[in-house]
Amino acid sequence: MVDFKDSPSEAEFRSEVVMFLEETKSLRADGKDPGASFGPKSVSDGKMSDYEEWRDALVSKSWVAPHWPVESGGAGLSSREQSVLNEEFAKAGVSNIGGFGTMMLGPTLIIHGTDEQKTEHLPRIMAGEIAWCQGWSEPGAGSDLASLQTRAMRDGDEYVVNGQKIWTSGAHQADWMYMLSRTDPDAPKHRGISFLMFPMTNDGVTVRPLTQMTGHSDFNEVFFEDVRVPVANRVGEENRGWYVGATLMDFERSGIGSSVGTHKSLRELLKRTKALPRERSQLEQSAVRSAFAERVIDAEVALLFSYRLITLQAADLVPNYEASMTKMFSSEMNQRIAQLNMKVHGLYSALYDSNEEPSTTTQASYRYLRSAANTIEGGSSEIQRNIIATRGLGLPRG
Q: Check if the beta carbon of residue 395 is closer than 8 Å to that of residue 389.
A: yes
User: Of 307, 302, 216, which is closest to residue 266 (Cα–Cα)?
Assistant: 302
What is the three-class DSSP state of 8?
helix
| 177-195 mean pLDDT | 96
Determine the pLDDT at residue 40: 42
Q: Which of 53, 238, 252, 332 is catalytic?
A: 252
Burial 340-372 (b: 16+ CB within 10 A, else e): bbbbbbeebbeebebeeeeebbbebbbbbbbbe
Whether 225 is catalytic: no
Q: Do domains 8-97 and 132-240 have the same CATH topology?
A: no
CATH 1.10.540 fits 8-97, yes or no: yes
Structure confidence by residue, pLDDT tens digits, 349-376:
777 777 766 566 677 888 899 999 889 8
Predicted TM-score (pTM) of this structure: 0.84
226-250 tens-digit pLDDT? 999 999 999 999 999 999 998 887 6
pLDDT for residue 1: 65
Mean pLDDT score, 71-93: 89
Nearest to 302, CA basis, from 343, 267, 257, 363: 257
| pLDDT above 90 coverage of the chain, percent | 48
What single letter denotes the amino acid at residue 31?
G
Q: Is pLDDT above 70 for 35?
A: yes
Kindly give the pairing relationship between strand 151-155 and strand 158-165: antiparallel
Q: Give the pLDDT band of residue 253 (cuts 50, 70, 90).
A: very low
pLDDT at 326 over 80: yes
Lowest-pLDDT range, 1-5, 60-64, 290-294, 379-383? 1-5
> Any idea where the domains of the chain sit in the sequence?
8-97, 132-240, 254-392
Q: Out of 2.30.38.10, 1.20.140.10, 1.20.140.90, 2.40.110.10, which CATH number does the structure's domain 254-392 have?
A: 1.20.140.10
For residue range 191-203, list pLDDT tens digits in order: 999 999 999 999 9
Architecture of domain 132-240: Beta Barrel (2.40)
Distance CA 103, CA 123 (A): 14
Q: How confident is the model at residue 34 (pLDDT cuts 50, 70, 90)?
A: confident
110-165 pLDDT per residue, tens: 999 999 999 999 999 988 788 999 999 999 998 788 999 999 999 999 999 999 99
How confident is the model at residue 329, as a pLDDT? 94
- Residue 67: how many CB atoms within 10 A of its CB? 21
Look at residue 365 in the predicted model and tell me its pLDDT: 87
Q: Higher confidence at residue 317 or residue 381? A: 381
Average pLDDT over residues 248-269: 73
